[in-house]
């Protein structure tokens, strides 16, 4: 049932990567992960801070790969506006390079640790109709406000990586690295090519 959706994600990710091979073809895309993400209402208690704002951050450092080019396709499961804690993006922040893991920011976020980011334009919090999708590279700084609705905000995320991406050997919360080899491609049955 999800195969047609994943094929479209792969096709679009391949076009958006803008990388070509010696033969002039685009670099293929691998499925990396997919998951459902709730953002809990800010008025209700949470054990894991899932009910507050999401600090501005990059995704890249958490994926344990050796190169950029990965993307997240963010699909809301209902129509949502800023009251749901939808994302804002810092335009052009992907050009700043890798800016560290968000857990190293202390009590701040990327906007406080890297004040040069505040000179860039930031989008308003997104407003989504059902069927809308946002796509961001893993170097794009993004964050969100709290969900002030009385119910969770739900999204389905599909994460892609370039087909030539290699595992860098770092521990990764996204997959079990048993049997994987450092600096070797992610190319096994867990990370199929989808483009």
What per-residue confidence (pLDDT) applies to 21? 74
What per-residue confidence (pLDDT) applies to 23? 73
Token pair for residue 124? 């308003």
Q: What percent of the chain has pLDDT over 70?
A: 98
Q: What percent of the chain has pLDDT over 90?
A: 75
31 touches 6 (CB < 8 A) = yes
Q: Is 151 helix (H, G, I), strand (E, B) or coil?
A: coil
Model confidence over 127-185: pLDDT tens digits? 999 999 999 999 999 999 999 999 999 999 999 999 999 999 998 887 888 888 999 99
145 touches 82 (CB < 8 A) = yes
Which band of pLDDT confidence, cut at 50, 70 and 90, is reported for residue 31?
very high
104-130 mean pLDDT = 94
What per-residue confidence (pLDDT) applies to 177? 86
Strands 153-162 and 71-76, bridge-based pairing: antiparallel
Which band of pLDDT confidence, cut at 50, 70 and 90, is reported for residue 18?
confident
Which band of pLDDT confidence, cut at 50, 70 and 90, is reported for residue 78?
very high
What domains appear along the chain, each with residue ranges and CATH number?
A: 32-159 (2.60.120.620)
pLDDT higher at 46 or 146 = 146
What per-residue confidence (pLDDT) applies to 40? 93
């Amino acid at each position: 049932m999800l195969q047609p959706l994943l094929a479209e994600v792969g096709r679009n990710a391949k076009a958006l990567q803008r990388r070509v091979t010696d033969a002039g073809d685009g670099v293929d895309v691998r499925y990396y992960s997919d998951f459902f993400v709730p953002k809990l209402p800010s008025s209700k208690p949470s054990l894991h801070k899932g009910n507050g704002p999401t600090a501005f951050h990059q995704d890249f450092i958490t994926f344990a790969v050796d190169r950029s080019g990965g993307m997240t396709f963010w699909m809301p499961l209902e129509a949502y506006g800023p009251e749901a804690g939808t994302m804002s993006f810092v335009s052009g922040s992907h050009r700043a390079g890798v800016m560290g893991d968000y857990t190293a920011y202390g009590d701040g976020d990327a906007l406080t640790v890297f004040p040069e980011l505040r000179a860039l334009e930031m989008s308003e919090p997104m407003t989504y109709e059902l069927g809308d999708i946002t796509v961001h590279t893993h170097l794009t700084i993004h964050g969100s406000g709290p969900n002030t609705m009385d119910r969770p905000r739900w999204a389905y995320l599909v994460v892609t990586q370039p087909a030539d991406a290699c595992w860098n050997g770092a521990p990764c919360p996204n997959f079990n690295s048993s049997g994987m080899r450092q600096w070797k491609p992610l190319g096994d049955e867990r990370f199929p090519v989808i483009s």
